[in-house]
Amino acid sequence: MEEGTKTQAVGPVFVDTTLRDGGQSPGVFFDRPTKMAIVTTLSRIGVREIEVGTPCLGEHEIADLRVLLTLPVPAELFPWLRPLEEDFDAALRLGFRRVHLSFPTSEGHLASVRGMSRIEALERVRRSIRRLSSEGVRVSVGLEDASRADMGFLEDFVGAVRESGGIRVRYCDTVGRHHPLEIAERIGQVSRWGVPVEVHCHNDLGMATANTVAAFHAGARFLSTTVTGVGERAGNAVMEEVAFALAFSGPEEAETGIDLPGLAHISRWLYTAIGRTLSPYRPVVGSRIFHHSSGIHVDGVIKEPANYELFSPDQVGSKRKIIVTHQTGRAGIRNVLERMGYRPPPEILDRLVPIVREEGWRLKGIVPAQTILSHFMAIIEAGQGGSPARQGT
């Protein structure tokens, strides 16, 4: 129980499952060098626990796990195990001193996935934890499909984990059915049952990040996430989104312990590694999330970036950019000219703005800086305004 008390005092602990759950996404393959790069980079940016795979995949996976265990990283590495002796033996042979066991907890999963009754599940989790603990191994236990499980049975199951010496339970929203209010209420209950709580959310309804943040505020201090959100079906809670949400939202912004620019960097890198396209408008890491064009927003962000930016682009290795379109006003157009070295007088801007906006309608999109400059110089040459003042003159 000391682990939970200590962790709650220092804030969230990110538990990465990119290699395990992310690796289960159809078409995703991590070769050994990529696995090593992911582990070392995540550890360097402050991720404290990494679920590195599962020995049940066979000899190739076991060989990779053996290599990963030799890496000189401060993060704790552990495998995902089925509640089977063959998995326990494989983990022990590899030398893991921490493991994660996954047990079904909903009626559907108990019956069809594992073929066991509630009583059998309680007996097996007690026996499994005691067996592994006797070997000096610390054991966390996953409550598979907990979001569809009976709360009474979950309480009995968590009690069995606690009494047998388990260090933590992982509450799994296996099919992503929860919404934030519901998961907060259930996590609030589970967190009162005497065992530290981890939360593991899937994104089938697009709420994995929100559910993970809600669960954290309800008492789950361990947050199972993947970089980019890669995972089965629609994926998992996105590590970079959860970390930034905890750092920059809510009444009490949390100290995540994560190097946020470093996390953004590995996220962008991983998109390439898994062969997926990064949307330029992806939260946190998209290349265009600091682009501004509408008149009110441009004016506000030039005066004070915090008016329309929750965090600085420096936090994610990005840059702010003013984009001129049919919606851009004086502030944006002036900004473009100033970046090219000109200080347009107010009377010229009065004439230039409607011309540039008309160009935006004609082009049905972005007005290039050179086009703005050409119209600006045409006004000057036509004698419709004063001489253009150059910066520094």
The count of domains in the chain is 2
Last residue of a domain, one of 217, 243, 273: 273
Element housing 392 (H / E): none
Do 191 and 307 lie in a common domain?
no
pLDDT of residue 52: 98
Contact 326, 361 (CB under 8 A): yes
pLDDT of residue 384: 54
Q: Which class for 81: exposed (0-12), middle (13-18), buried (19 or more C-beta within 10 A)?
A: buried
Contact 337, 328 (CB under 8 A): no
Do 255 and 347 lie in a common domain?
no
For residues 48-63, b (16+ Cβ closer than 10 Å) or e, as one string? Answer: bbbbbbbbeeeeebbe
Do 214 and 317 lie in a common domain?
no
Do 161 and 263 lie in a common domain?
yes
Count the Cβ atoms, other than its own, within 10 Å of residue 192. Answer: 12
Do 307 and 207 lie in a common domain?
no
pLDDT of residue 389: 57
End-to-end CA gap in the chain: 69
Do 247 and 330 lie in a common domain?
no
pLDDT of residue 49: 98
Q: Provide the whole-model pTM.
A: 0.91
**Alpha carbon separation from 338 to 22, 126, 280 (Å, rounded):** 46, 70, 26
DSSP 238: B
Which of 38, 26, 15 minimizes the C-alpha distance to 270?
38
Q: Compute, in degrees rounded to 10, the torsion defined by CA atoms 252, 255, 261, 266.
A: -110
Give the β-pairing of 222-225 and 197-201: parallel
Angle at 186 between CA 181 and CA 187, to 5 degrees: 95
| Residue 283 is assigned to a structural domain of this protein | no
Which of 108, 181, 168, 194 minimizes the C-alpha distance to 144?
108
Count Cα neighbours of 94 within 13 Å in the Cβ-side half-sphere.
32
Can you tell me the distance from the alpha carbon of 94 to that of 307, in angstroms, rounded to the nearest whole number? 53
Dig out the tokens for 229 from the structure.
């959100």
Do 181 and 50 lie in a common domain?
yes
β-sheet bridge partners, residue 99: 139
Contact 109, 144 (CB under 8 A): yes
Read out DSSP for 173-203? ETT----HHHHHHHHHHHTTSSS-EEEEEB-
Do 78 and 194 lie in a common domain?
yes
Length of the chain in terms of residues written: 393
pLDDT of residue 7: 36
Please state the three-class secondary structure of 286-304 as a single string.
CCCCCEECCHHHHHHHHHC
CATH number at residue 243: 3.20.20.70
For every one of its 393 residues, what pLDDT tens digit does the chain have, with 9 covering 90 and above? 444 433 344 589 999 999 999 999 999 999 999 999 999 999 999 999 999 999 999 999 999 999 999 999 999 999 999 999 999 999 999 999 999 999 999 999 999 877 899 999 999 999 999 999 999 999 999 999 999 999 999 999 999 999 999 999 999 999 999 999 999 999 999 999 999 999 999 999 999 999 999 999 999 999 999 999 999 999 999 999 999 999 999 777 789 999 999 999 999 999 999 999 999 999 999 999 999 999 999 999 999 999 999 999 999 999 999 999 999 999 999 999 999 999 999 999 999 999 999 999 999 999 999 999 999 999 988 875 555 556 554
| Residue 278 is assigned to a structural domain of this protein | no
| Residue 282 is assigned to a structural domain of this protein | no
Dig out the tokens for 363 from the structure.
């082009």
pLDDT of residue 2: 40
Last residue of a domain, one of 273, 301, 319: 273
Do 207 and 160 lie in a common domain?
yes
Do 266 and 306 lie in a common domain?
no
| Residue 198 is assigned to a structural domain of this protein | yes
CB-based contacts of 108: which residues, under 8 Å, 6+ apart? 145, 148
Do 244 and 104 lie in a common domain?
yes
pLDDT of residue 383: 76
Domain ranges, residue 326: 291-390
Dig out the tokens for 124 from the structure.
């097996």
Long-range contacts of 337-343 (CB under 8 A, 24+ apart): 337/372, 337/373, 337/376, 338/391, 339/369, 340/369, 340/373, 341/390, 341/391, 341/392, 342/373, 342/376, 342/388, 342/389, 342/390, 342/391, 343/388, 343/389, 343/390, 343/391
The backbone torsions φ and ψ at residue 164, rounded to the nearest 5 degrees and listed phi first, read: -90, -5
pLDDT of residue 386: 52
Do 130 and 28 lie in a common domain?
yes
- The residue ranges of DSSP E strands in the chain, in sequence order, are 13-16, 49-53, 76-81, 98-104, 138-144, 168-173, 197-201, 222-225, 291-292, 321-322, 342-343, 389-390
- The residue ranges of DSSP E strands in 243-337, in sequence order, are 291-292, 321-322
